[in-house]
Amino acid sequence: MIVLPPMLPKEKLLRVAQQLPASARVLAQLGQLLMDVNSGLEEIAALLKRDTALAARVIRISNSAAYGTGGGIASIEDAVGRVGFAEVYRLTGFASATQVFDHDLTFYGVPGSILRANTLFTALAVESLAKRAAVDSRAAYTAGLMRSVGKVVLDRIGRQSLGGGKDFVSAGTTSVVEWEEMTFGITNAQAGAVVLESWNFPASVCVPVRVQLLGAPVSEPHARLTTLLNVAAGIAADAGYRMPGETGLWEITPEKLQAAGLSSTLFQECIREARDGFEQIRESLD
């Protein structure tokens, strides 16, 4: 049996991360491409078609009732042309997330259905919060989608390298963070940030993911988005998609809302918008 060292080597993290679907890396490249005003439909379509599984899922989702296209989209070019450049990033992000978070996290005891629902709900919630808090909503959406990627990587490492009795359920602890630090020497948030940085996601995504637990001070320009990400995870948990061992991590307090620049009224609007968006798109989760 291979026993990991107290602090998980970065090389091992990245080696296991390379086993994940390439769609997340395509999403990072798409974000960079869309920042260039000279990018056109052909360039965007060519990038998405590099990953045939991702392209097929983008086409399928773009035909769903949630996007109101009326169906009949048969190619990536059609999808990009019909939904538009701004919306194609959200659609691709959703498609990417459903691939990356496609399995149960057995080492964590998290069913895949809960993982995917939590991922999407968090992304929709933080995007809605960001729009009202004058924060980059695309970065917020991406951070929401990718905030649990560290769990996916650590779950694989645990299953591949550790023996029985090391998983979260067997550990008998109530805190997943304490268990991660004891088992891997790193939290899933820290691991996720390392992976996302290696995939060339910007600091506006990596920093909020790394400090999403709000356990360390964060300087601007990332402080507000980090708080919004934490609040959004709380919204997803309160909606019934809480993951094991996270009780108390996402408590929504007046202090957090104040730090994020959100009134109680705006906060409630965001919850309703996230719920509505989730209900519209949830049929595409499976």
Burial of 3 (0-12, 13-18, 19+ CB in 10 A): exposed
**Tokens representing residue 41 in the block:** 């439909």
Q: Given a cut of 90, is residue 239 above it in pLDDT? A: yes
Instruction: Give the per-residue pLDDT at 68.
Output: 66
| 223 or 65, which is more confident | 223
Q: Is 182 helix (H, G, I), strand (E, B) or coil?
A: helix
Q: What is the pTM of this model?
A: 0.92
- How confident is the model over 269-283, as pLDDT tens digits? 999 999 999 988 876
Residues 6+ apart with CB under 8 A from 39: 33, 85
How far is the C-alpha of 100 from the C-alpha of 5, rounded, in Å? Answer: 26
Instruction: Give the per-residue pLDDT at 1.
Output: 38
What is the pLDDT averaged over residues 196-201? 96
By the 8 A CB rule, do 9 and 37 touch?
no
**Tokens representing residue 225 in the block:** 């988005």
For residue 33, the one-letter residue type is: L
Give me the residue label for tokens 């260039």.
36
CB atoms within 10 A of CB 177: 17
**76 phi and psi angles, rounded to 5 deg:** -65, -40
- How confident is the model over 19-29, as pLDDT tens digits? 999 999 999 99
**Residue 8 — pLDDT band, cuts 50, 70, 90?**
confident
Q: Given a cut of 80, is residue 217 above it in pLDDT? A: no
- How confident is the model over 115-167, as pLDDT tens digits? 999 999 999 999 999 999 999 999 999 999 999 999 999 999 999 888 778 89
Q: Is 236 helix (H, G, I), strand (E, B) or coil?
A: helix
